Amino acid sequence: MLIVKKFGGSSVADKDRIYNVARRCIEDYQAGNDVVVVLSAMGKTTDKLIDLAHSINSHAPKREMDMLLAVGEQISVACMGMAMHELGVPSVSLNAFQVQMHTNSTYGAAKLKRIDTERIRNELAMRKIVIITGFQGVNKFDDVTTLGRGGSDTTAVALAAALHADACEIYTDVDGVYTADPRIVPNARKLPEVSYSEMLEMASLGAKVLHNRSVELAKKYGVQLVVRSSLNYNEGTVVKESAKMEKMIVSGVASDKNVARISVMGVSNEPGIAFKVFNCLAKNKINVDIILQSVGRGGTKDIAFTVAKNDVEATVEVIKENMDVFTAESYEVEEDVAKVSIIGAGMTSNPGVAAKMFEALSTGGINIKMISTSEIRITVVVDAYNADRAVRYIHDAFALAE
């Protein structure tokens, strides 16, 4: 078997954890497998490098920023090579130049284009564990790039695809994907399997186990992922094309408090106004999530939508500048709201799901402020102080702990 194993920054934060990871890799190696390890930067290394950069230039050019940040993973892989050497197992560390991890030139958020697997295959053929820097690449100018958020997961998935790996294991500090956040719902249950689509919906809703980008790449190339903990040997969650849902319609409940509701009120009830609003926001690179438009009364109607909390300021600016264009009478900002969602591949073919969710919220006396649905997700916006209770009521109503 060829196994790609990815460990995040907290899994290699210090000497003990580095040795812990080294031993786990060696177990697979000694069982006769080919092992490729992808590492993030140790602990807070990346944050420290960013602080250093900002101390020198608060608007550091992105090319130089990537040149700087890439050292973080190089430190990790070199240290891992030293640990494996101490444990008597042949290994080799490789950075993005050595692997020829080709990306485009979008510094800070580069997209992987192509990986030359020759060097990796040669090292594996010599029975070495191959330790590769996550998060980084090289562009056509031979310049260093970084992949941005979730970059190391993406590196691991891309390597698994390029090497036709038999397994791609993403190690994190949780055991896998749960039916709900165990900190909110103590009896939340770990899911043995989820589909790519479900994982994507969950990730976008605050279950930050895997970055969407890596899941999308895994889906595209059919790379089956396992999410598991580097701190124990519990079986993780398999993320694959079509997960057996054990006849479950709903696989999980997620909440997201990083949300604000903006209402633009009293706009003229004529065609094209909504277009103007959302076109303006899009031009300013503001991502709008849930949209609600009131039925017009008299000559006016209200348009409400949600944005991420850190986009509120920019959104308000756009609205203020365009009150006339939008024909708006006033606007309102509510920051004390949260999204609560149920996710499940079986949802579309089961019409009673939404009703059951709303019933659960009603039982809890929780008012629904907005509703949005997709093929495999139903989301409601509620007051922020109700979010955790909402998750628990819904988790109970669908008997997800069982």
Binding site for a second copy (CB under 8 A): 15, 18, 49, 52-53, 55-57, 59-61, 63-65, 67-68, 70-71, 74-75, 77-79, 81-83, 85-86, 92-93, 95, 97-98, 119, 142-144
Closer CB to a second copy, residue 78 or residue 274?
Answer: 78
Closer CB to a second copy, residue 49 or residue 292?
Answer: 49
Closest distance to a second copy from the beta carbon of 95 (Å): 7
Distance CA 37, CA 19 (A): 13
Closest distance to a second copy from the beta carbon of 110 (Å): 16
Residue indicated by tokens 């007051």: 383
Closer CB to a second copy, residue 57 or residue 348?
Answer: 57
Closest distance to a second copy from the beta carbon of 31 (Å): 24
Closer CB to a second copy, residue 81 or residue 176?
Answer: 81
Closer CB to a second copy, residue 131 or residue 397?
Answer: 131
Closer CB to a second copy, residue 53 or residue 202?
Answer: 53
Distance CA 339, CA 252 (A): 14
Closer CB to a second copy, residue 69 or residue 210?
Answer: 69
CB atoms within 10 A of CB 383: 15
Closest distance to a second copy from the beta carbon of 42 (Å): 9
Closest distance to a second copy from the beta carbon of 85 (Å): 5
Closest distance to a second copy from the beta carbon of 72 (Å): 8
Distance CA 307, CA 301 (A): 20
Q: Provide the edge-to-edge strand list for the sheet that holds 101-103.
A: 112-115, 101-103, 136-138, 144-146
- Buried/exposed code over 11-41 (b: 16+ C-beta within 10 A; e: otherwise): bbbeeebbbbbbebbbebbeeebbbbbbbbb
Closest distance to a second copy from the beta carbon of 91 (Å): 9
First to last CA, the chain: 34
Closest distance to a second copy from the beta carbon of 278 (Å): 36
Distance CA 386, CA 384 (A): 5
Closer CB to a second copy, residue 18 or residue 184?
Answer: 18
